Amino acid sequence: MKKYCQQRVNKAYSCPVEATVDVIGGKWKSLIIYHLLAEKKRFGELQRLIPGVTLRMLTLQLRELEADGIIDRQVYRQVPPKVEYSLTSFGASLQPILQQMSKWGENYMHLLEENQQRS
């Protein structure tokens, strides 16, 4: 959490929403967090659950979320190596936000479907 989060310490946000978007915004971070809400996942599981994300981008996003204290990375010393990702208690506090985003997305997708059927 340390290095990345410390880069944000001196950052001035104009509002709390800006701070939230700075940490969980972007195309992949909210999806990663969403998939970790239910249970911990391995890297390959996350990659399968998030089509379109590249290995490099998934790795980068996971590192940033870990640095911000949102997720925890657990490395098991075995052959082959096993790494699991889970939400920290701080990361789990995002659950209501992501549930609302999911609900809003469902409503929006329904609206798009209705509009497409009318066309």
Please write the tens of the pLDDT for every residue from 29-72: 999 999 999 999 999 999 999 999 999 999 999 999 999 999 99
| Number of folded domains that form the chain | 1
- pTM exceeds 0.75, yes or no: yes
Task: Determine the structural domain holding residue 67 and report its residue range.
Answer: 2-118
Please write the tens of the pLDDT for every residue from 68-97: 999 999 999 999 889 999 999 999 999 999
The domain that holds 92 is classified in CATH as: 1.10.10.10
Whole-number Å distance between alpha carbons of 71 and 54: 19
Give the 3-state secondary structure percentages of the chain, helix then strand then coil, rounded to 5.
60, 10, 25
What are all long-range contacts of 54-63, with beta carbons under 8 Å and residues at least 24 apart?
A: 57/28, 58/28, 58/32, 61/26, 61/28, 61/29, 61/32, 62/32, 63/4
Whole-number Å distance between alpha carbons of 87 and 92: 6
